[in-house]
Amino acid sequence: MRKPVILATLTLISSLAVGCSSIDKIDTSTPEGAYQLAEEYEKDERYDEAVQRFQEVRTKFPYSKLATAAELKIADVHYKREAFIEAQGAYQLFKDFHPKHAQIDYVTFRLAMSYFNQLPDTIDRDLSVADKAILYFDEVMTSYPTSAHAGEARDRKAAALKMLAEKELYVADFYMKRRTFESALKRYEYLLKTYPSSGLDARALYGAAKSAFELGEKDRALQHYRQLSSLYPSSSEAKQAKDDFEKYGAN
């Protein structure tokens, strides 16, 4: 029973030894060798050592074409290990110093994704990085419309906007529940203006109509109600608004 286990262990030790010996044989006195060593560490998921080695390529061989490639690799390694704040900083530096690089569309997309991946899982927390993500997703779509990353940039931007819209609705509903109708109305109307077609329009229109009605602003309330009943006639919000307005004789 123990023989297969022993053989497997010996095989593992042997492969590790071969791996170490192959790394040890790399000549790091050249930019190509130093870059190869950094790549080997990256493949082995020894990310801290990979970053250190790529940095050495930059500092020891600053005039080599691999120095620029190493800069981008540093950002990619940070991204790969999900150190998104570090990745964001590295991609931003690369973008600032190499604005005409052949892969600048990729760099811009990864910069946007570094911000996007810092977003929290729930909307009740700080979403300020969403604005930065959207800024760079927009840049990918407008400046590099033929990029292979333009389609995903569009989808990711939509997801970020949806989170911001949901946060706005969350805050508006919070004010509504506490009968702070003026603040609620401002939030609902801001949502409708800033995040149109978010999928939350019917809820926002109903909230705006109800808040305005509670504030005694009948014309404003009717404006939102008519838009709600016109655009989303089959929605539960339109039915509820109709019942509310009939109940209070406001139609």
Any idea what the CATH number is for the domain that residue 123 is in?
1.25.40.10
Question: Alpha carbon of 20 to those of 37, 40, 220: distances in Å?
Answer: 11, 10, 74
- 172 within domain boundaries: no
Closest Cα to residue 166, out of 195, 209, 189?
195
- 199 within domain boundaries: yes
120 and 156, same domain (yes or no): yes
> Which ranges of the chain have pLDDT less than 70?
1-22, 248-251
72 and 129, same domain (yes or no): no
- 232 within domain boundaries: yes
- 35 within domain boundaries: yes
- As for how many domains the chain has, the answer is 3
- 165 within domain boundaries: no
C-alpha angle 9-10-13 in degrees, rounded to nearest 5: 85
- 11 within domain boundaries: no
What pLDDT is attached to residue 251?
A: 54
Question: Alpha carbon of 150 to those of 116, 141, 142: distances in Å?
Answer: 15, 5, 9
144 and 213, same domain (yes or no): no
Task: Please say which residue of 80, 99, 116 terminates a domain.
Answer: 80
Closest Cα to residue 68, out of 26, 104, 112?
104
What 8-state DSSP symbol labels residue 26? S
* Host domain of residue 238: 179-251
The structure tokens listed for 86 are 């570090």
Q: How far apart are CA 148 and CA 105, in angstroms?
A: 9
Task: Please say which residue of 41, 56, 80 terminates a domain.
Answer: 80
- 14 within domain boundaries: no
What pLDDT is attached to residue 25?
A: 79
184 CB-near residues (< 8 Å, 6+ apart): 172, 173, 175, 176, 207, 211
200 and 231, same domain (yes or no): yes
93 and 40, same domain (yes or no): no
Q: What is the dihedral of CA 65, 66, 72, 76, to 10 degrees?
A: 160
Q: How far apart are CA 130 and CA 134, in angstroms?
A: 6
C-alpha angle 92-160-189 in degrees, rounded to nearest 5: 125
112 and 134, same domain (yes or no): yes
31 and 93, same domain (yes or no): no
146 and 210, same domain (yes or no): no
